[in-house]
Amino acid sequence: METNRQIFIQGCRHGLPIGLGYFAVAFSLGIAARDYGFSAAQGFIASLLTYASAGQYMGFALYATNTTLAELVLLMFIINARYILMGFALNQRMPEGTPLSTRLLVGSCITDEIFGITIARPGIPTPYYTFGALITAVPLWALGTALGISMGNILPARIVSALSVALFGMFIAVIIPPSKKDKAVGAAVLISFAASYAAVRAPWISSLSQGNRTIILTVVISSVFALLFPRKTEAVSEGGAPDAD
Amino acid sequence: MQINVYVYIFVMAFSTWIMRVAASLIMKKPVENRFFQSFLYYVPYVTLAVMTFPAIVEATQSPLAGAAALIVCIGAAWAGRGLFTVAVAGCLTVLVLELFL
């Protein structure tokens, strides 16, 4: 029988490689955040509290465009909608009568990668495990962001240019494996690339902010695919998790 | 008018957290609406794809290097490489190509 302490330590151990990956990616997020006017302290706090790569990247970008808070909330809801799906997948594995506090603690730890290792772990999801992983990985995420902001401008332009690609590389690593497995996802990704490219140039939509364009394209393309290629209902337990490395 | 940056950060963090715990708050039994499930299934991939292209090509000093990184990353991910490896492969591609471009 594993004690809660042992489970927590296991979570910390599994969180370490995730945190090292986060550190590198957060550095490139920090470089972007600096361009959008965030200080190292602000980036550190934002990463410590938000710990969401795509959401933060978009949030930072949007701040520079003088967005409204309503627009920000709407964008965070849309861009982080996958966390709802992951939340459902984790809660589905918890027996009826599980205390709300346990459900909330497990849910609060969701990131793409922590969800991945938690859902892959046999048994009922436990906050001891998820919190162990979170408390190891997220400080490295925050530190990477702060260093990216503070050191981004003392690095040669060539290095910065190379590092700025890391974040997109991470996004690609999340979207390609499911595209390979599921042709509908692959088609959705290709159409998203094309639509996003067109949206930068098309009349009217190109005049919208980047955040609004992302919201509109996401809702339209996802809705069309949900109608044309609906999922089997049990698919929710699989989730959209990337590999747990 | 620029919103106070700390208010902005807090709203960003809080609305992200709400999404993490939304299911924990409302879930009594699995949602059965097929459209809703399907919509949520596609959302992360569509969002990330929209954010990746053409932004990756615009992020680098030379657009060609960005385009090459896109192809290398897709290839590495297709070959089953992990998140970290794919990100590093993209960075190295840009680093090497921009020596010449």
pLDDT digits (tens, 9 = 90+) for A146-198: 999 998 877 787 887 888 788 788 789 888 999 999 999 999 999 999 999 99
pLDDT, residue B79, reads 97
pLDDT, residue A238, reads 44
Sheet strands (E) in A111-212: none
Distance of CA A137 to CAs A17, A20, A109, Å? 8, 7, 11
Band of pLDDT at residue B29, cut at 50, 70 and 90: low
Distance CA(B96)–CA(A17), nearest Å, equals 26
Nearest residue to A59 via CA among A43, A39, A76, A35: A76
Of A79 and A238, which is predicted with more confidence?
A79
Band of pLDDT at residue B1, cut at 50, 70 and 90: low
CB contact under 8 A, A175 and B49: yes
Band of pLDDT at residue A245, cut at 50, 70 and 90: very low
Structure tokens at A31: 């470089």
Give me the residue spans of the domains in chain A.
Answer: 4-163, 182-232
Half-sphere exposure of A169 (CA within 13 A, CB side): 34
Tens-place pLDDT, residues A84-125 = 878 887 887 888 888 999 999 999 999 988 887 887 788 899
Q: CA of B67 to nearest chain A CA: how many angstroms apart?
A: 10
pLDDT over 70 (residue B16): yes
pLDDT, residue B30, reads 60
Structure tokens at A34: 């600096």
CB contact under 8 A, A225 and B65: no
Query: Do residues B20 and A108 make contact, with C-beta atoms less than 8 angstroms apart?
Result: yes
pLDDT over 90 (residue A207): no
Distance CA(A193)–CA(A81), nearest Å, equals 19
CB contact under 8 A, B49 and A196: yes
Tokens 């006017």 correspond to what residue? A37
pLDDT over 60 (residue A244): no
Q: CA of B1 to nearest chain A CA: how many angstroms apart?
A: 7
pLDDT over 60 (residue B36): yes
pLDDT over 50 (residue A239): no
pLDDT over 70 (residue B53): yes
Distance CA(A39)–CA(B63), nearest Å, equals 28
Handedness of CA A6, A10, A13, A18 (dihedral sign): negative
Handedness of CA A27, A28, A32, A35 (dihedral sign): positive
pLDDT, residue A235, reads 42
Tens-place pLDDT, residues A17-34 = 788 778 878 888 999 999
- 7-66 in chain B: CB under 8 A from chain A: 7-13, 15-25, 27, 30-32, 34-35, 37-56, 59-62, 65-66
Distance CA(B67)–CA(B89), nearest Å, equals 13
Give me the residue spans of the domains in chain B.
Answer: 5-97
pLDDT, residue A233, reads 55
Q: Which candidate in A168, A189, A212, A213 is best for mutational testing of the B interface (most B CBs within 10 A)? A: A168
Tens-place pLDDT, residues A51-79 = 998 899 989 998 988 889 999 999 899 88
Q: Residue B2's Cα: distance from chain center in Å?
A: 26
Band of pLDDT at residue B31, cut at 50, 70 and 90: low
Distance of CA B76 to CAs A29, B58, B69, Å? 21, 21, 10
Distance CA(A202)–CA(A40), nearest Å, equals 36
Q: CA of A4 to nearest chain B CA: how many angstroms apart?
A: 21
Mean pLDDT of the B52-62 span: 89
With H, G, I as helix, E, B as strand and everything else as coil, classify residue A38.
coil
Cis peptide bond N-terminal to A125, omega within 30: no
CB contact under 8 A, B27 and A168: no
Query: Do residues B39 and A223 make contact, with C-beta atoms less than 8 angstroms apart?
Result: yes
Q: Residue A201: its chain B contacts at CB < 8 A?
A: none
Non-local CB neighbours of A51 within 8 Å, separated by 6+ positions: A111, A134, A138, A141, A142, B16
Searching chain A, which residue's CA lies closest to the CA of residue B81? A173
Amino acid type, A233 = T
Q: How large a percentage of chain A has pLDDT more than 70?
A: 93
Q: Residue B3: its chain A contacts at CB < 8 A?
A: 63, 68-69
